Amino acid sequence: MFIRLAEQHRQFVQDLVMNLQALAIVLENRGYLASCYTCGSQMNSASFMVSLGDNHLIRFLVSDYGITWTEMRDDRELMKLEGAEAISQLQDLGNLVKYQIQPSEFRPPVSQQV
């Protein structure tokens, strides 16, 4: 059972890395400064970053060891989430692409800031 769960987790991380790479490409094509870096060819970790303008930066890290979403403005951390909560924040970022929101129009929910 544990071997199967470990393999499912590895596959999940690889899928997430591929989706982050695609999201970075689409965001760049829409005028955002975005990047997604991976280590090695096995796609078992990635560092995704996007600038939403006005010194507003999103960093999303994924690896076998964990998943973290960090949102910063003016070099100050606004919000840091891990695991499923971090992944759910990607939906808001995906909405930028889906609804073609311009970088200056995007504002994170104030209720989720720290």
Residue by residue, pLDDT tens for the chain (114 residues) are: 999 999 999 999 999 999 999 999 999 998 899 999 998 888 899 999 999 888 999 999 999 889 999 999 999 999 999 999 999 999 888 887 788 766 555 555 444 444
77, β-bridge pairs: 72
SS3 40: coil
Angle 57-61-66 from CA coordinates, rounded to 5°: 145
Q: Which residue has the tokens 């199967």?
A: 4
What is the CB neighbour count within 10 angstroms for residue 105? 11
Count of the separate structural domains present in the chain: 1
Stated pTM of the model: 0.82
Task: List, in sequence order, the alpha helices (H) in 1-114.
Answer: 2-29, 83-98
Q: Give the pLDDT confidence score for residue 106 in this predicted structure.
A: 54
What is the domain range of residue 91?
2-112
Predicted local distance difference test score (pLDDT) of residue 105: 55
